[in-house]
Amino acid sequence: MIKTRDIPNLLTGARIVFSIAVFLGLAAAAGVLPGQAGAPGAPAQRAVGLWSLAAFVLAAVTDYFDGWLARRWNAQSPWGAMLDPIADKIAVCGAVLA
């Protein structure tokens, strides 16, 4: 059973998943994934780039809401305090490195 106090931590976990998706999408659009036979065509690059942008925006929105909900519901936890900055670094590094 999911409790209200768990929702901010679940959003942080979702942000990590979205950030990894951004990295993989941008790497695929550039054609640098292992086993990839080169960059895809221009329409596919654009589509993957737009999906990566949408995933990055969604990750940013979850970043805002997990902190806001944790403060509003007084649901701060040591797990969230540790995982939130890690999720931020994964998101930024994934977008910069790809």
- pLDDT tens per residue across span 73-85: 999 999 999 999 9
At 1, the pLDDT band (50, 70, 90 cuts) reads: confident
Average pLDDT over residues 62-73: 94
pTM: 0.89
Average pLDDT over residues 28-53: 92
In whole angstroms, give the CA distance from residue 31 to residue 27. Answer: 6
Average pLDDT over residues 32-37: 90
The token duo for 79 is: 């797990």
CA distances from 76 to 17, 52, 54, 55, 79 (A): 21, 29, 28, 25, 8
